[in-house]
Amino acid sequence: MRQKSNGKQQFIIKRAAGFLLLIFAFTGIIGICVGKKDNRIRADSGMETERMAEENTKAASGKIKEEEVKKVALTFDDGPNPDHTETLLEGLKERNVKATFFLLGAECEKYPEIVKKIHADGHLIGVHSYEHVNLSNLTDQAAMEQVDKTDQIIFGLTGEHAQYIRPPYGCWKCNLDYETKMIEVLWDVDPLDWKTDNSSVIAKRVMDKVQENDIILLHDASESSVNAALLIIDELQGEGYSFVTVEELILE
């Protein structure tokens, strides 16, 4: 009887042990599965974080590119002109463009209201000369009279002295740098607009050469030049260019 009882007890113990092993094994499998699930969630979460970081980087990069605007400066010599300058001013205002006007003193005396309008519209005004003469052919005193007389006229009409000068033909006397504080401004692109009355030709000459940070030379003394200027603005704005005064370009 004792042997049967012992055999029965051993059988019960073995079954209990087997049952416990089965429970432990099942628990382990669950643990492994949960662990794998947790790892997948963490991995997915990491991938999502990386994806979001990439998108944020792309967005920031796009914003930076949008802020990196290409700039050019439009400049007009020989004005103010009674027939064409005001038409140009209206076109510039419609396109939200600021330009630089190098004025002749004699013309400023004839058309003071146009000078005031140029200034009121926020454009930069510089000196060209009084009578459009080659300053390098004059004595120092005569050359300075051309410059100073024009500046005084501009000051009387706008309340501001000119800070920039473009000498006619680009001819300046180096020793006059000691006589005036004005900064000499020349140009990068000259389409020779005074040689043709074809606006499209003028615009194409500019578009073929213009680059970022260039200064474009034009005149506001003819209909063709004014029309060409507006064509140039429309094309360059379409290419992402912004128009600034020479002061903004130089001081950048």
- Active-site positions read 77, 219
Structure tokens at 220: 């506001």
**In sequence order, what DSSP letters do the residues of 14-64 get, joined into one string?**
HHHHHHHHHHHHHHHHHHHHHHHHHHHHHHHHHHHHHHHHHHHHHHHHHHH
Is 84 within 8 Å of 111 (Cβ atoms)? no
Q: Is cis: bond before 80, omega within 30 of 0?
A: yes
Determine which helix (DSSP H) or strand (DSSP E) holds 127, and give its type and residue range: strand 124-129
Cα gap 150→127, rounded to integer Å:
6
